Each structure stands twice: as C-alpha cells, then as structure tokens.
C-alpha cells in the first residue's frame, strides 16, 4: 500500500479551463484540513522548460527558490498554499526525453530497444512519485497539461493508467475538468462534449472518479444526474465550477460543492476536520471591500497578454487587500511611450512599475517612464530590467553619460552602466544559464528597503544575465543614487534607491514570485502604501 495518496487532474473539451486553479483550490482545502499537500505540473511540450519561451507563447516564466524555470501554474500553487515549490514540481516532455536519452547513451538499458512504453512511461511515473516518496506529503496533486486526446499528452495518460494500477485501490483518483457549454440559440447547457471527453479518457484505460464541470450557468439536479449516468461517476462526484469574480473565490466554491470531501472519501482518508480558512476569508473580505483605490501603471512590452506579468498582477491584489485599497492596473506598452504622449499616459498615475523583460524592443519607452516618475516624484518600483532602466536613466540624465546603456541593448556603448558578468560571456546556451533562484541580499541600514523588510538579510529570487556595473558605482552614488542592497558574497548590486525622491526603488530580483495570500510581499505592500499617500497628497494639492 502507498503511504502517499495521488490525485491526477486532467482536462477535456477545451484548454484554459483552469486546471491549475482547481488543483490549487483543492490543495488549499486539503491543506486547511491539516493534510500535507503539494502540487506538480506535467507539461507536454518538448522544451526542457519555459525559460527560452517568449512570454506571448506561454505567459510568464515562474522561478523557484532552487532556480528552476517553470510553468506559471506553480505561481498559483505557491500563492494558494503559501509553500515553496521546486524543480520536482514541474516536469516537461523535453526533460523526460532528455533523461531517457542520456540513460540510453550511458548504456543503462542493457542494449534494449528504447520505446515510449516502458521507458518513457517509467520515467514519467518516477518523476510523479519523487515528491510522494520524500515523506514530506500526505497527498500529491498532479496536473496534466493539455487536453485529453492530444497526441502530446498520451504518454502521461498512459503513465497514470499504469500508476493507478500499481498504487492499488483507494490510493489515487482522477479528476477530469471539462466544459459544459451553453448554447444561447437553444437556451440549453449541453453535456455531449463532456460525454465525449470522458469517453476519450476511457479509451485510454482511465475512468474519471470526479467530474469538475466549468459552466456559466447552474447545472441543476437533473443535469448532474445525467452526467453521472452517462460518465460512470456518482452524482456527488459531479462538481459544478461556475465562473467566479476572482480566482480566490474558487476554494470556497469548491468547498460548497464538496470537492474536498468526495476526494477524501475516494482516497479513504478522514474528513472529520473542517477546513480552517479564516485567514483566507479575511483576505477575500478586504479584497472585495476596499476603502479607496489607486491606479498604478505597469510599463512593459508584453502587456497584450496579461499572463506575461501574472505574478506581478497577483502581488498587487495581495498588497491591495493588505492596504484595503483596490489597485487598478493600467497596462502601458513601452513601445508607445514617446516624449509627445508621456504626460498623458503617466501624469495621472499614483505609481509606476517598470516591468522585467529581455531585449532592446521598447527600452527607450521604459527609460522615459523612469525619468518622468523620478522627476515628478511619483512612487516608482523597477523590477529586474526595470531596475536596470532606472540605472541607465540616472546615468544619462543626472550623471550626463548621454549614451549610457546596457551591453544587452548596445554592445558598443561608451558607458556600460549595466554589463554582462565575466563568467557569463563564454556561455552559448540560452536555457538555464542565467543567475537563477534565491540569492542572499544584505540591506543598508538607512534605506527604504530596510524599513520595508524589517531585516538586514533577505533572500529573493532572480532571473537575469546582466548586472549593475560596479565600475560606475562611485560616480552614480556621488550623484545621488544609493546602493541599498548587495549580495554579501559577490558584491553584486541588488537594490538602488534615489535620495531626492519620496519612494523610488529598483530591485534586480523578482519580489513578485514570493507574494502569497497569507504573506503579501512587503515591497509590494509598501509600494501600494506609497501610491495611496501620493494619491491623497495629489487630491489635497488639486483642491488647494
């Protein structure tokens, strides 16, 4: 008998139904009942990880403490569970095949023909069970990317079929997330797509234990009974998942539907303890009942796809609730920022955040946004590339290094205030070669960030290749740019502030990755608080 129980979440009918949110919500409910829970994501693409993917392709790349570049769903897992994930929580087809091929090259298969079954499926099963065998978890939830019936997902579905048999009864279950479309012309919800999706799953040898049905309308008793009858599940295992006003409502909606209770029943686990969701619901109450609002501009070059900045947007939700304000995000494409329009785009904002990114496209617009925020004393937060743009802007307009730049954008700049590290210059592979994961940062005593964090030593996650050029440190500091955070081992600059500004912070790391419902990131909380103060001062000034 297995000591760890496994829950597999598959999807059918359509992509983007929210498997990650359902998995995270169920995990939250089980955790709130006292179970030790983690979630992993199996992605069927052949990339080793999303590290080399354009954000338009797959949304943001989420980075864990151990430096893994992972799917953005891991961000949802951490935000809901308030627990860190790792490389073991995200597996891709590329990583699976790479591992099997490496083993074949080492001769580990004793001359046998290497095939999808058993070699690829064995590798998948091994990866699925790494977290379970650690002894740290009672339940492991595994989300299978893609949609049932996709060619790419077949090895994962077959691995689950085998694993369910090997684990034995009551040790695993399959939740199938599907869509119940509403046909306006007929005025009806239609179950046929779900029936066909369940049939496709059964053709692969897997019978769904629980159906979670995404719908815009109430399913009702008769429709649930029909789904149960035609899909071979108990009626109590047909779970309605209505569209919610916020993803943070979903755990409570799933609690009302009994998703956690039926899951525990099928896994033969006690369900006497009710979920403890006090802190969660306090957050929800503040989020839904703000006392005021502020508008913050998010300056980026991938703003057409909101998932490109998913963790930043969620961090603002957490920080807004903590400050009891609604944070309205105005997404501004940096390529559209010119001297002629910058006042119209930024003057009415209560705060400016210049977002992370790579490459030279849209860079000048970001620099102009930094300059406007600095000169007009608007609260400013620069993240990763945003911090680097702040250094370049200060170098150009205050230190009079008119052609200051990063060597990423201009390899021949006469003033490379941002430059590539010496050890990075010989690297040719793009994937997994940046400064990644959690690094230590020591904060200066007389600084904004020291007050924000309340600690002298912090740990934050990184994802970048270019760094503050220490050769320009003395000149920048003399001109008024304060270095308020450095890595104690390497001396690398992590944080910059500006003396003559009420709230101006640029950080080389990604604070958004560590913001959760239970622990909003202090830097975002302080930034939003500064925006609130600025908005109130602006109101008083306009009334005077």
Known binding residues are 15-21, 56, 73, 143, 150-152, 190-195, 226, 242-244, 357, 385-388, 408, 465
DSSP H or E stretch at residue 420: strand 415-420
DSSP H or E stretch at residue 42: strand 37-43
Angle (deg, nearest 10), helices 259-266 and 250-257: 60
Query: Can you give the length of the chain in residues?
Result: 544
The residues annotated with a catalytic role in the active site are 384, 510, 512
Rounded CA separation 209/270 (Å):
18
> Judging by beta carbons within 10 Å of its beta carbon (0-12, 13-18, 19+), is residue 106 exposed, middle or buried?
exposed
Which residues fall in the annotated binding site for ATP? 16-21, 73, 242-244
Q: Compute φ and ψ for 452, nearest 5 degrees.
A: -65, -50
> Judging by beta carbons within 10 Å of its beta carbon (0-12, 13-18, 19+), is residue 185 exposed, middle or buried?
exposed
> CA nearest 79: which of 514, 431, 523?
514
Q: What is the DSSP letter of 421?
A: -
Q: Compute φ and ψ for 89, nearest 5 degrees.
A: -85, -5
DSSP H or E stretch at residue 485: strand 481-486
Q: Is the peptide bond before 247 cis (omega within 30 degrees of 0)?
A: no
Is residue 193 within 8 A of residue 178, CB to CB? The reply is yes
Output the DSSP codes for 379-397: -EEEETHHHHHHHHHHHHH
Which residues fall in the annotated binding site for UTP? 15, 190-195, 226
Neighbour count for residue 519 (Cβ, 10 Å): 13
Rounded CA separation 25/471 (Å):
49
Which residues fall in the annotated binding site for L-glutamine? 56, 357, 385-388, 408, 465
CA distances from 168 to 162, 165, 206 (A): 10, 6, 14
Which residues fall in the annotated binding site for Mg(2+)? 73, 143
Pairing status of strand 238-242 against strand 210-215: parallel
Count of CA atoms in the C-beta half-sphere (13 A) of 63: 24
Rounded CA separation 90/49 (Å):
9
> Judging by beta carbons within 10 Å of its beta carbon (0-12, 13-18, 19+), is residue 149 exposed, middle or buried?
middle
3-state secondary structure of 74: helix
Cβ-Cβ contacts under 8 Å for 192 (sequence gap 6 or more)? none
């Amino acid at each position: 008998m297995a000591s760890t129980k496994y829950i597999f979440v598959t999807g059918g009918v359509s992509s983007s139904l929210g498997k990650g949110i359902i998995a995270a919500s169920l995990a939250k409910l089980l955790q709130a009942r006292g179970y030790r829970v983690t979630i992993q994501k199996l992605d069927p693409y052949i990339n080793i990880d999303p590290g080399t993917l354009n954000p338009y392709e797959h949304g943001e790349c989420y980075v864990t403490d151990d430096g893994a570049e992972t799917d953005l769903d891991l961000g949802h897992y951490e935000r809901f569970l308030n627990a860190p994930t790792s490389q073991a929580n995200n597996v891709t087809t590329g990583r699976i095949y790479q591992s099997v091929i490496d083993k074949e090259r080492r001769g580990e298969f004793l001359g046998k023909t290497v095939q999808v079954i058993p070699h690829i499926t064995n590798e998948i099963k091994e990866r699925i069970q790494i977290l379970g065998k650690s002894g740290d978890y009672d339940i492991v939830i595994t989300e299978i990317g893609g949609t049932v019936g996709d060619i790419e997902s077949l090895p994962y579905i077959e691995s689950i079929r085998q694993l369910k048999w090997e684990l034995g009864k009551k040790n695993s279950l399959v939740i199938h997330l599907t869509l119940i479309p509403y046909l306006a012309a007929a005025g009806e919800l239609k179950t046929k797509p779900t029936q066909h999706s369940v049939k496709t799953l059964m053709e692969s040898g897997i019978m769904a234990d629980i159906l979670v049905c995404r719908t815009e309308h109430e399913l009702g008793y008769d429709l649930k009974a029909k789904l149960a009858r035609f899909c071979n599940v108990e009626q109590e295992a047909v779970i309605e998942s209505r569209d919610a006003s916020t993803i943070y409502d979903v755990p409570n909606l799933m609690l009302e539907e009994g998703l956690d209770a039926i899951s525990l029943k099928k896994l033969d686990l006690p369900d006497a303890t009710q979920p403890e969701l006090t802190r969660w619901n306090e957050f929800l109450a503040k989020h839904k009942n703000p006392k005021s609002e502020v508008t913050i501009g998010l300056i980026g070059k991938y703003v057409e796809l909101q998932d490109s900045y998913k963790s930043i947007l969620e961090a603002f939700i957490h920080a807004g609730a903590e400050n009891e304000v609604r944070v309205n995000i105005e997404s501004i494409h940096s390529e559209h920022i010119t001297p002629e329009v910058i006042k119209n785009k930024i003057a009415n904002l209560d705060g400016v955040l210049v977002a992370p990114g790579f490459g030279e496209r849209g860079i000048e617009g970001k620099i102009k946004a930094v300059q406007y925020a600095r000169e007009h004393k608007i609260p400013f937060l620069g993240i990763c590339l945003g911090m680097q743009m702040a250094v370049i802007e200060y170098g150009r307009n205050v230190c009079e290094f008119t052609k200051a730049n990063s060597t990423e954008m201009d390899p021949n700049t006469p003033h490379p205030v941002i430059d590539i590290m010496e050890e990075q210059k010989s690297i040719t592979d793009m994937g997994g070669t940046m400064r990644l994961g959690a690094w230590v940062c020591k904060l200066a005593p007389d600084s904004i960030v020291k007050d924000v964090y309340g600690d002298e030593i912090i740990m934050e996650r990184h994802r970048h290749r270019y760094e503050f050029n220490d050769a320009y440190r003395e000149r920048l500091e003399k001109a008024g740019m304060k270095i308020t955070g450095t890595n104690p081992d390497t001396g690398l600059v992590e944080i910059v502030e500006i003396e003559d500004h009420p709230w101006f912070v640029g950080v080389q790391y990604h604070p958004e990755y560590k913001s959760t419902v239970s622990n909003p990131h202090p830097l975002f909380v302080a930034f939003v608080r500064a925006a609130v103060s600025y908005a109130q001062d602006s109101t008083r000034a306009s009334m005077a």
